[in-house]
Structure 1
Amino acid sequence: MVTVVNNYAPPTKDVKTTEELLNPPEGVHDMNFVLPVKELDSGKVRLVPFIPTVHMPLLMTRSAAHPELFKYVGYGPLTDLVSSLHIYDRLIASDPSSTWFAVFDLTRPDKEDASLPGAFAGVTGLLAASAAQSQAEIGYVLYLPEFQRTHVGTHATGLLMHYLLDSPSLGGLGLRRAQWKANALNTRSVEAAKRLGFRDEGVSRWHIVLPEGKEGLDRPDEGDGARGKGRHTAMLSVCWDDWKEGVREKVDALMSRN
């Protein structure tokens, strides 16, 4: 006779101390990402691997007056440096399938810090990356208001698409699939992806239970066992055949015009 039990416990993640977050051991920040990471530069926009002690203060202080920026992202607003670093550690540093880039607009200097390569515009990132499945998702996109509806988004996403889908001989990773997922209510995000050649694959309904304060759908009743609003997720992708059959040229044309 076999007795059945269920001793499941949620996996624990190493939580860094405040001192470790503020002062990485020996001044080294480990990207801890499953795919190679490097700077990407179009001549107008540069993506720099996100160093939390360097770039989080920029993101936190410059987004402080714009809490609406966090309506559709799964974290924030960012209220203080220590809690912001803990958010990064929990979402990104402890997850090898995710990474962030700091985004700089090279067409103008930064108004507050002349040592930066250009004006700090926000962040973008990769998540759900898998070398074994040859795919990654572009996400965690957040641009400060003055950089929205400019060349920044086109160039930043175009750079990531090139890096993910170009062959290694062209400097890319040669992946088979680049994915884009968005809250179905966030029509600006969905349309931005389609403009760059991402194909609509449909909507995954009630895909995510959202944190408190995020834009989403009210639960139909109180009996579903989960708290928080829900999210229908628009699913889009560019695959390697799409890339070779015209999307690459489309992205290049958009980047050259912006």
Structure 2
Amino acid sequence: MDRDGSNWAYLPYGPFATLEAYEAWLSEAALTPDPNFFAIIKRADNKAAGLASYLRINPQDGSIEVGHINYSPLLQKTREGTEAMYLMMKWAFESGYRRYEWKCNALNTKSRYAAQRLGLSYEGVFRQMSISKGRNRNTAWFAAIDKEWPALKASFETYLSDDNFAADGRPKKALSGLTKPLLYKRDTFEFGSE
């Protein structure tokens, strides 16, 4: 499905040489409480088409991050992919977390756009935060907080409702149009290159 390995470009692991190597990594990852991984299943065939995790789980301060997001092309830009992110955010806020974070390599413009589309506000870039796969990584940060959740939840519910989708499966209202007015701050896309 990801023949050129582009899905792995900004993740600290992968691509994997064989399915067996990936399965071994998944088995190991499944044993950790933080990050806590979830498979994202396509309804049509009941098969995994992506994964995501909660990490930096800090109930004392009420913050949690979503990350390690890796959608196969079957899940990218789909209603189901959006719904998975909504359900993860919903669980976090309904479980009492005050802050829901998303961070990504600053070079990963797709991830930066996705965070904002989902209603997470841009908070800045940590320069030279780490080295990933032998390269400098500047990290872009996004978050939503509990007081923003009711409006975000309403936006997701409007977007995900059956009434919002035409017969061809396209949404009548874009999620980004619903969440854009709710953003505390928008991404300036600084530090988008090394």
2:29/2:37 contact within 8 Å kept:
no
Q: Distance in 2 between matches of 1:125 and 1:87?
A: 14
Residue 141 of structure 1, CA deviation: 0.8
1:100 corresponds to which residue? 37
2: CA distance between counterparts of 1:154 and 1:81? Answer: 26
TM-score normalised to structure 1 length: 0.58
1:155 equivalent in structure 2: 83
Map 1:160-179 onto structure 2 (within 5 A): 160-166=88-94, 173-179=95-101
- Counterpart in the other structure of 1:78: 16
Higher mean displacement: 197-206 or 82-91: 82-91
| In 2, Cα distance between equivalents of 1:105 and 1:82 | 22
**Unmatched 5+ stretches in structure 2:** 165-170, 172-194
Structure 1 alignment gaps of length 5 or more: 1-61, 110-117, 167-172, 212-227
The partner residue of 2:124 within 199, 202, 223 is: 202
Q: Does 1:193 align with 2:112?
A: no
Return the alpha-carbon distance in structure 2 between the equivalents of residues 120 and 200 of structure 1: 30
**Deviation of 1:251 (Å):** 1.9
| Higher strand fraction (1 or 2) | 2
Deviations 1:209-229 (A, max 9, x none): 112xxxxxxxxxxxxxxxx21
Q: 2: CA distance between counterparts of 1:234 and 1:159?
A: 23
Pick 1 or 2: higher relative contact order, CA cutoff 8 A, min separation 6.
2
2:144 match:
238
Query: Take 2:28 and 2:130, find their aligned partners in 1: how far apart are those partners?
Result: 18
The one-letter code of the counterpart of 1:152 is: E
Structure showing greater radius of gyration is 1
Count of aligned residue pairs for this structure pair: 163
Distance between the aligned counterparts of 1:151 and 1:241, measured in 2? 25
CA contact (8 A) 1:75 1:87 kept: no
| 2:86/2:156 contact within 8 Å kept | yes
Alpha-carbon distance change, 149 to 234 in structure 1, aligned in 2, over 3 angstroms: same
Seen in structure 2, the aligned counterparts of structure 1 residues 105 and 82 have a Cα distance that, compared at 3 Å, is closer
Q: What pairs with 1:1-258 in structure 2 (closer than 5 Å)? A: 63=2, 65-80=3-18, 83-88=21-26, 93-94=31-32, 96-106=33-43, 108-109=44-45, 118-166=46-94, 173-211=95-133, 228-244=134-150, 246-256=151-161, 257=164
Alpha-carbon distance in 2 for matches of 1:128, 1:89: 20
Q: Paired residue for 2:179?
A: none
Deviation of residue 254 (structure 1)? Answer: 2.2
Whichever residue aligns with residue 131 of structure 2, its letter is V
**Could you tell me how far apart the structure 2 residues matched to 1:144 and 1:88 are?**
15
